[in-house]
A and B are shown apart, each in its own frame.
Chain A
Amino acid sequence: MFDWLNYFLPLLEATKTTLFLAVISLVMGLLLAFLFTILESWRCKPIAWLTSTIVTIIRSLPEILVVIAIYNGIPFLLIFLADNVLAGGLDLSIPLGFTEFNLHLEITNFDISPILCGIIALSLLYAAYASQTLRGAFKAIPVGQKQAAEILGLSKSRTLLHIIMPQIWRHALPGLGNQWLVLLKDTALVSLITVNDIMMQTRSIIANTHNPFTWYLIAAAIYLIISLISQRLLQILETKALYFETTSTVAKK
């Protein structure tokens, strides 16, 4: 008999890491996705093309390649920056009239934490997929609504906040929810860049106990539970988002 609790507690700790990674990547990814969407519909065509090319490239690369390439590529980027942009350190002095601020920028450490690489990779992946959903949601809003709001005398910020945003939220929520589930499953990849998530912890437990089938099944069960809970939460969110529409149709009848 082996001590179950000794293995379960680290696994719970690792589950926390996975959830932390997924949630942070979700937030960063959503912000990036908005940025991508805005850039893609920019009037300046080169920027729009560049953004949509980047999104297309990220979407067609295997996730594992993105994660590992970012993990291995960031040191190269730092070395490049240290050699060319910040060669010998960058001295900045900001005169403030009565005194001077002296800043010294230099890259001395070429290591980067794997968890940060994981967040960068996962949020890029999420943003690439989510920006397409958001673009569709933006397009689904009729132009007439903006004009109607203008005629009604609503300011631009109020139009955006009270008329456009709720509709985007409603249109995009199912798609964004699906991509959240994909993101959750993609977090398993960060075990390949030495982040101690559920998969990594499971593998180290298996190295001790020699029963891979049982422990991988337990890992699968944890992922399943998290994704089932998120699906339920998403359902609740969706019914809440649709509340306005359902009540208005009832009122019409």
Chain B
Amino acid sequence: MSDKFFYYLSVLAKGLPVTLSLSFAGIITACLIAIILSVSLTTTKKWYITKPIKTYVVLFTGTPLLVQLFIIYYGPSQFTFISEHLPTLWNIISQPWFCAYVALTLNSAAYTTQIFAGAIKAVPQGQWQACIALGMNKRQSLKVILPYALKRALSTYSNEIIFVVKGTALTSTITLMDIMGYNQYLYGTYYEFSIFVLTGCIYLLINGLLSIMMRLVEKRALAFENLEH
């Protein structure tokens, strides 16, 4: 029994690098994109900047991640000129890891943009006015206000991080062998329900550790608020 347990664990652990690398790469890129998009969404009123960003957010938050994943992975194969004339591009977009990365990043960036834009909008007007009163221009005041807003968004953002980790499990549907992929392989071979329990425990562990980490980060980031207490 315990032999089996360790065997299952060793097989499932082989999927760990894919799950973790996808999660971290996706989270970091999505965060950077979201910061740029949310800042440009909140600081300008030009329609040719805000409209495309809003459309992007609606498109990616309104459709399932599975559909986005399939469009990016299976979609380009329809256009034969890519494989015929652009072999380097074809090599890149036929990699399942890259497709999963793009889909996860774009999906998460859309949600994160919503979160960050909301946080920037929620900054009290007095802070902007204080920056103007100090003679700062828009860019300088953003440097002060942005960190403040992002710290405020941390608790919502930690949920989004967990969602990205959970989203990586979908990549097993495009032939990527992550934890879920190995879970399917093991279940297909041995037909034992304990495999699902074990997989669930691994995801629980990852998400539990991540949420504890995020709570610590939040505590430190918002330390300036608790100084008086």
Q: Check A60–B204 contact: CB distance below 8 A.
A: yes
Residues of chain B with a CB closer than 8 A to A72's CB? 187, 193, 196
Give bound CA distance, A101 to B196, whole Å.
Answer: 41
Q: Check A224–B59 contact: CB distance below 8 A.
A: yes
Please give the number of chain B residues whose Cβ is less than 8 angstroms from any Cβ of chain A in the complex: 40
Give bound CA distance, A158 to B165, whole Å.
Answer: 45
Q: Check A212–B169 contact: CB distance below 8 A.
A: no
Closest-by-CB residue of B relative to A228 is B62
Q: Which of A189-242 contact B (CB under 8 A)?
A: 189, 191-192, 199, 206, 210-214, 216-217, 219-220, 223-224, 227-228
Residues of chain A with a CB closer than 8 A to B65's CB? 185
Q: Which of B113-149 contact A (CB under 8 A)?
A: none
Q: Does B90 contact A (CB under 8 A)?
A: no
Q: Check A64–B180 contact: CB distance below 8 A.
A: yes
Q: Does B173 contact A (CB under 8 A)?
A: yes
Count of A-B contacts judged by CB separation below 8 Å: 104
Q: Select which of B61, B75, B196 is within 8 A of A216 by beta carbon.
A: B75
Q: Check B166–A216 contact: CB distance below 8 A.
A: no
| Interface residues, chain B, with chain A CB atoms under 8 Å away | 58-59, 61-68, 70-71, 74-79, 162, 165-170, 172-173, 180, 183-184, 187, 193, 196, 199-200, 203-204, 207-208, 211
Listed by A's residue number, 19 A-B pairs whose Cβ atoms lie within 8 Å are: A62-B180, A62-B203, A63-B169, A65-B200, A68-B196, A72-B196, A73-B193, A73-B196, A188-B67, A206-B74, A213-B71, A213-B75, A214-B78, A216-B71, A216-B74, A217-B75, A220-B59, A223-B63, A223-B67
Residues of chain B with a CB closer than 8 A to A186's CB? 64
Give bound CA distance, A9 to B94, whole Å.
Answer: 32
Closest-by-CB residue of B relative to A216 is B71
Top-8 shortest CB links A-B: A62-B169, A188-B64, A213-B75, A212-B74, A60-B207, A69-B196, A185-B64, A62-B166
Q: Select which of A60, A73, A191, A227 is within 8 A of B203 by beta carbon.
A: A60
Residues of chain A with a CB closer than 8 A to B169's CB? 62-65
Give bound CA distance, A212 to B58, whole Å.
Answer: 22
Q: Check A223–B166 contact: CB distance below 8 A.
A: no
Q: Select which of B68, B71, B74, B200 is within 8 A of A61 by beta carbon.
A: B200
Residues of chain B with a CB closer than 8 A to A76's CB? 193
Closest-by-CB residue of B relative to A76 is B193
Q: Check B64–A223 contact: CB distance below 8 A.
A: yes
Q: Which of A65-88 contact B (CB under 8 A)?
A: 65, 68-69, 72-73, 76
**Nearest chain B CB to A90's CB is how many angstroms away?**
24
